[in-house]
Amino acid sequence: MSTSPRPQPGEPEAEHGPEGGGTAAAPAHPAAPDDLEPDPGPVSAPDPVRVSAVAVVTPAAPEPSAGPAGGGPEAGGPDASGPDAGVTGGPDAGAPATGGSDAGSPVTAGVVTGGPVIGGAVPAGARAPVSLSPSRANDFMQCPLLYRFRVIDRLPEKPSEAATRGTLVHAVLERLFDAPAAERTVPRAKELLPGQWAKLLQARPELAELFAGDPEGARLARWLGEAEALVERWFTLEDPTRLEPAERELFVEAELDSGLRLRGVIDRVDVAPTGEVRIVDYKTGKAPRPEYRDGALFQMTFYALVVWRLKGVIPRRLQLVYLGSGEVLTYDPVEADLRRVERRLLALWDAIAHATATGDWRPRPTKLCGWCDHQEHCPEFGGTPPVYPLPVLPSQRSG
Ligand code: SF4
């Protein structure tokens, strides 16, 4: 079990945000999460994650007292924030499984038949899943076939303006903390945008196609303006001059007793002088409607579970900062919540393992199909999936 900087290209999955991550937790000043809101009442539960306390704060979310502190930003519809997303919500605008995901080492096998590979050579790039991240867990819950396309077939997906904007905003919010506290201002943050966009383009040249056919640069200028507005809104929700994050873009990975590996990237970790931990995630979309909040919090309880397993400490507060709507959603987890999410993840992993072994990845059409890049391969839309690239257990073969 470990926390470490985000994996580099070629290494397995990185979930969130664009940049590399922090290192082991350092003592930090800020953020004593002592401004807990009363439970506003029962939260409808589209999924089994139960929320012990939820609060939505519009504008100027009160900072945890005890010194400098802050709150945290994504939202309804297709999530535009970092590569990781909410749960059952809109399509994860983040990076799909291309380039590393919950996938493992190549599987060796032999003969490719008309159906699945049976004891044969596995096509390059095909991987059996070996770990789980919030985004990919969401994929499987949304549609098992989508999970297969992203994690096992690793089919390419087109970059989107929304997802890329989310990545850019994440990068700016992360880098802003490089500056001395007093210099973490709106103008300073805006100044970071062009440079971070250039860095992103350098790392992922394919993003240039987003603005192909825009010789005047009008679309790019509008898009950058939208990113700027999101960054500016963040300052109405948190005060970075009063925050000293312990970690930014922290890659975390933990192995459960069952052997299941959970991994992801946490946007920000604040540690109060008391040692209390707050996990913060920025979302560039809008906050979900109340009936979908449990889903939005799934990712955060996932991270809380990982931190708990790693450090033996249950985070005091989980905080989603929605830059799209200017709201902050918080959740104060208790042990029972984390045990519940762990059971849920184990059940999910069993289902993934079964589908991997049998090659039975069923499409589950929903309105979210409109955001799916793989309709041409989906039987629900008259498409045909690629030949299943992994070995299928002989006992599972049909016919
Ligand atoms: S288009 Fe097909 S593969 Fe994509 S989400 Fe819908 S059912 Fe799943």
What tens-digit pLDDT sequence spans the chain (399 residues)? 444 444 333 333 334 433 332 323 333 333 333 332 323 232 222 233 333 344 555 443 333 333 323 333 333 333 434 433 333 333 333 334 333 345 443 332 222 222 344 334 455 667 789 999 999 999 999 999 999 999 999 999 999 999 999 999 999 999 999 999 999 999 999 999 999 999 999 999 999 999 988 878 899 999 999 999 999 999 999 999 999 999 999 999 999 988 999 999 999 999 999 999 999 999 999 999 988 888 889 999 999 999 999 999 999 999 999 999 999 999 999 999 999 999 999 999 999 999 999 999 999 999 999 999 999 999 999 999 999 999 987 655 544
Closest among 141, 169, 393, 160 to 281, alpha carbons compared:
169
Question: What local confidence, expressed as pLDDT, does residue 366 receive?
Answer: 97
Structure tokens at 182: 């007093």
Which of 92, 145, 149, 373 has the most ligand 1 atoms within 8 A of CB, as the residue to mutate? 145
Is the C-beta atom of 168 inside 6 A of ligand 1?
no
Give burial (CB, 10 Å; 0-12/13-18/19+) of 209: exposed
Pick the atom of ligand 1 nearest to 143's CA.
8
Whole-number Å distance, alpha carbon 377 to ligand 1 midpoint, is 9
145 Cβ closer than 6 Å to some ligand 1 atom: yes
How many angstroms is it from 182 CA to the middle of ligand 1? 48
Please give the pLDDT value at position 128.
86
Q: pTM (2 decimals)?
A: 0.74
pLDDT for the residue 55? 53
Å from CA of 127 to ligand 1 middle = 20
Q: Is the distance from the beta carbon of residue 378 to the nearest atom of ligand 1 less than 6 Å?
A: yes
How much distance in Å is there from the Cα of 149 to the middle of ligand 1? 9
171 in contact with ligand 1, CB cutoff 6 A = no
Q: Which atom of ligand 1 has the smallest separation from the CA of 365? A: 7
Query: Does 170 contact ligand 1 (Cβ within 6 A)?
Result: no
Q: Exposure string (b/e) for 276-292, b if CB count within 10 Å is 16 or more? A: bbbbbbbbbbbbbeeeb
User: What is the structure's pLDDT at 109?
Assistant: 28
Nearest CA to ligand 1 atom 6: 369
- At residue 102, the pLDDT reads 55
> Whose C-alpha lies nearest to ligand 1, atom 2?
378
Selection from 352, 270, 362, 285 nearest residue 325 by Cα: 285
C-beta of 157 in contact with ligand 1 (< 6 A): no
Distance from first CA to last CA of the chain, Å, rounded?
42
Q: Is 141 in the pocket of ligand 1 (CB under 6 A)?
A: no
> Can you tell me the distance from the alpha carbon of 296 to that of 289, in angstroms, rounded to the nearest whole number?
10
